[in-house]
Structure 1
Amino acid sequence: MPGLLLPLTRAVTYTRWLHMLVGAIVPFACAMVYPGLSNPSPHDWLLVAVLPIPLALAAGIVPSVRHAEGLQARLMLFPGPHARVRNDEDPGVSTVFSASWTDRARTGAWLVLRLESGLALALVTNTLLTLALSLAGEPGRADPLPYVSDAGWVYTLLAPVPVLALVMVAAGAGALMAQAARRLLGPSVKERLAELEKRTEQLLERNEIARELHDTLGHALTLAVVQAGAARAAGDPHFTDRALEAIEETGRAALEDLDRVLLVLRDTGRPPGARPALDEAGRLLDSARSSGAQVDAEVTGPLEHLPGPVSREAYRMLQEALTNVLRHAGPVRIGVRIAVEAARLRLEVRNPLPDPAPVAGTGGGRGLRGIRERAALLGGEARAGQHGGHWLLRVDLPL
């Protein structure tokens, strides 16, 4: 029983009721013109239901009507801030303008359904409220029920029954209209594809931002830790000054990258700063050298003429590779080879194996996984593992 009375306490029941009754305004307005509302016959009520249909179909052709109907349906047919239930689910009703004839046809069908259901609910509402007033013995009723002198109070007690029945009918009709709104005003296939593409782009953007933060901050913090440890171990004031200078430069570059990423997250409308490219690899190599590592670099080919996406992603791969070496092996001898060969970019980073040596091919760290993801997005591949007593990372990217 409490479950049956639950719709009485929900505000959405009455907003749906109102939404449907508003749909009856057009049929009644047409009925006042023809055939009139003075003692209408069943044939007259049939005309009242049929005459507004061409108007509804014509209104459905207007693109903005779908937008307006979608907003009304979202506000009045579904639980929201006005309801006494928590429902964060998307109602599944579109609020965009009609973009195709299919959208226009669905909007016209929705308008016809809204007019007809509103007219039916208005007639039911009038009938049941009239019955309730008659049972209550309202003075001035048009057709009073016959009273029995010694049992008239029974009719008065029955007066709330039509009202409760009316609320239940309105609640059921409103729930059906909400389902119909999802089908007729819901997003089209084209809109669903556009929304899916938008979500995919957002996920890719978030992953890209996560990789950017991981590469930038991880590189800066790793260099700072290695340089600080080397300076403390060396005990040389001159070396300490150089290490502090390198930490300052690396930290400043990391802050610039962080500001650029935050501009994207805040969506300020200002274009983010330019991302570093592979022709600036010397900055990475110098940072690694300043940490105490011996870097032997071999660069062949015009790096400045590389395509932008390839050059920027390769820079991040090299940054992550150097960070991994310093993090896991320390300031060791590092061999770097960057070559532009026959429409391909080849990047190799080699370093002695740390003790204990990692298991070849595991690649369990975020850094190697990020490098592989970047390479795969560019149509290339990245491999890492033991090779002749060294740890070797090879990246092959098409141009």
Structure 2
Amino acid sequence: MPAPLSLLQTLVQTLVRPLVRAVTYTRWLHLLIGAIVPLAGGLIYPGLSDPGVVDWLIAAALPVPLVAAAALLPSARRAEGLQARLMLFPGKHARVRATGEAGAGEAGAGEAGVGEAATGISATPSASWTDRGRTALWLVFRMEAGLAAWLLTIWLLQVTLVLSGVSVEEPVLGSVTPLAGAAPLAPLPFLALLALVVAGGRLDTRVARRLLGPSVRERMAALEDRTERLLERNRIARELHDSLGHALTLAVVQAGAARAAGDPEFTDRALATIEETGRAALEDLERVLLLLRETGRRPPGAGPGLDEAARLLDSARSSGAVVEAVITGPVEELPGPVSREAYRMLQEALTNALRHAGPVPVAVQVAADDSRLSLLVTNPLPEGRPPAVPGSGSGLRGIRERAALLGGEAKAGTANDTWQVTVTLPLR
């Protein structure tokens, strides 16, 4: 691109394009609003009938303690943050809906998070003295910058009038002497004013992001909230994988066994097992979907626990596998989270055995005492297949993640021509 055209394009993007955007003028208005306090105070003292430079300095300095004191109110930061969002970043992301209903309140908090992410401006009350100090600096900056912007705006307009040949009786910053033949220069102060509008709005926006942006505590809270959401999504994904994977694996194994057996009685039992397993999977799916929809309703039941392991073992036996289970200790008295997660880990271990080894003998050992819960699932390796890599697969990874969240440990691998899944969970 030729140099003159490139220079013209840069000039248009830098100076002309901002002048046709509404946000440029809402930012300038936001800046000028800050001049209300010193102007109102200046009318009381020292008076603005014939102000000089000293009078304007007094008018700018006197309200500083009052404005700084107003920043001590926690709501001052929220009010300034909302106003900055609306006028410096117009759009739906700048709005926060306040409501007393629980569900709508959660939606309002979500909108506040979107606004903060899109604008970089926090709209929460001050929670520390650091927040109050930053709010005080912002209020003082807004007042002083607003007064300077107001004075420069009036003065540049007066200079434009004087250069055009119009007399000005009360100039705000000293007298302006008209020059003969200076009419062609009249547009220059007005162009300077337009440049000031663009630059002042950008400065106001940059300082707002610095002083009204989220504090370290708010950033940490947002990070923790995001981590919690990711962990919840990960947990829901594991629930779907374990429940639906188990149901589909049993259905496939049962259907294949029924077709190979050719026995009507065995086929009836296989279909009954598929129906029961599918119904349980549908209940789990409904529970997970309620969590995903975030309707505020409680899921129908918190999920099966290890005290219901008999149903899980029976469904595995009905697929043709020989399952020998030894359960010792007060399993029915386990803490809810441990019991539910152990049930899912046992379910995934059985599913893994049926999926990769078929209807083979499976040994299950569950032992609980006052301090820990131990789970061991063993099955022979399938003939003609290479042993799996220990710990591979999303199901085994889910077992390890469940155990780690409870402070326990899970291992999977080969030992003495068998595949073993070992889980140890602390109860305290």
TM normalised by structure 2 equals 0.85
CA contact (8 A) 2:330 2:369 kept: no
Corresponding residue SS for 1:336: strand
1:51 to 62, 81, 86: 62
CA contact (8 A) 1:63 1:104 kept: yes
Q: What corresponds to 2:12 in structure 1?
A: 2
The correspondence of residues 1-399 of structure 1 with structure 2, limited to 5 A, is: 1-5=11-15, 6-78=17-89, 80=91, 90-137=118-165, 142=169, 145-148=178-181, 155-156=183-184, 158-272=185-299, 273-341=301-369, 343-359=371-387, 361-399=389-427
Deviations 1:255-301 (A, max 9, x none): 11111112222222222222211111111111111222111111111
Corresponding residue SS for 2:297: coil
Provide the rounded CA distance (Å) in 2 between the counterparts of 1:65 and 1:177: 18
Provide the rounded CA distance (Å) in 2 between the counterparts of 1:220 and 1:159: 82
Using the TM superposition, give the Cα deviation of residue 358 of structure 1 relative to its aligned residue in structure 2, in angstroms: 4.0
Corresponding residue SS for 1:61: coil
Give the fraction of aligned pairs with identical amino acids, expressed as a percent.
65
Provide the rounded CA distance (Å) in 1 between the counterparts of 2:248 and 2:394: 16
Provide the rounded CA distance (Å) in 1 between the counterparts of 2:425 and 2:210: 47
Provide the rounded CA distance (Å) in 2 between the counterparts of 1:163 and 1:82: 34
Corresponding residue SS for 1:383: strand
Using the TM superposition, give the Cα deviation of residue 332 of structure 1 relative to its aligned residue in structure 2, in angstroms: 1.6
Using the TM superposition, give the Cα deviation of residue 369 of structure 1 relative to its aligned residue in structure 2, in angstroms: 0.7
Provide the rounded CA distance (Å) in 2 between the counterparts of 1:194 and 1:294: 50
Deviations 1:33-80 (A, max 9, x none): 222221201111111101211221121111111110011112222364
Flag the 1:18–1:37 CA change in 2: closer, same or farther, 3 A: same
Worse overlay, 344-353 or 191-200: 191-200
Query: 2:72 is aligned with what amino acid?
Result: I
Q: What corresponds to 2:97 in structure 1?
A: none
CA contact (8 A) 1:93 1:182 kept: yes
Deviations 1:285-338 (A, max 9, x none): 111112221111111111001122111111000011111111111122211111
Worse overlay, 261-270 or 159-168: 159-168
Provide the rounded CA distance (Å) in 1 between the counterparts of 2:92 and 2:28: 17
**CA RMSD, 1 decimal:** 2.2
CA contact (8 A) 1:348 1:395 kept: yes
Provide the rounded CA distance (Å) in 2 between the counterparts of 1:160 and 1:245: 89
Using the TM superposition, give the Cα deviation of residue 82 of structure 1 relative to its aligned residue in structure 2, in angstroms: 10
Provide the rounded CA distance (Å) in 1 between the counterparts of 2:49 and 2:93: 39
CA contact (8 A) 1:12 1:82 kept: no
Unaligned runs of 5+ in 1: none
Provide the rounded CA distance (Å) in 1 between the counterparts of 2:297 and 2:235: 19
Using the TM superposition, give the Cα deviation of residue 190 of structure 1 relative to its aligned residue in structure 2, in angstroms: 2.1
Provide the rounded CA distance (Å) in 2 between the counterparts of 1:16 and 1:182: 13
Provide the rounded CA distance (Å) in 2 between the counterparts of 1:104 and 1:89: 21
Flag the 1:159–1:358 CA change in 2: closer, same or farther, 3 A: farther
Corresponding residue SS for 1:351: strand
Worse overlay, 111-120 or 345-354: 345-354
Provide the rounded CA distance (Å) in 2 between the counterparts of 1:58 and 1:343: 56
Query: 1:113 is aligned with what amino acid?
Result: F
Provide the rounded CA distance (Å) in 2 between the counterparts of 1:339 and 1:91: 55
The list of structure 1 runs, each at least 4 consecutive aligned residues, that deviate by more than 6 angstroms after superposition, is none
Using the TM superposition, give the Cα deviation of residue 136 of structure 1 relative to its aligned residue in structure 2, in angstroms: 4.3
Provide the rounded CA distance (Å) in 1 between the counterparts of 2:221 and 2:333: 35
Corresponding residue SS for 2:31: helix
Provide the rounded CA distance (Å) in 1 between the counterparts of 2:162 and 2:234: 68
Flag the 1:355–1:80 CA change in 2: closer, same or farther, 3 A: farther
Provide the rounded CA distance (Å) in 1 between the counterparts of 2:275 and 2:195: 72
Corresponding residue SS for 1:35: coil
Query: 2:283 is aligned with what amino acid?
Result: E
Query: 1:384 is aligned with what amino acid?
Result: A
CA contact (8 A) 1:107 1:185 kept: yes
Query: 1:9 is aligned with what amino acid?
Result: V
Provide the rounded CA distance (Å) in 1 between the counterparts of 2:168 and 2:46: 26
Using the TM superposition, give the Cα deviation of residue 129 of structure 1 relative to its aligned residue in structure 2, in angstroms: 1.9
Corresponding residue SS for 1:130: helix
Using the TM superposition, give the Cα deviation of residue 126 of structure 1 relative to its aligned residue in structure 2, in angstroms: 0.9
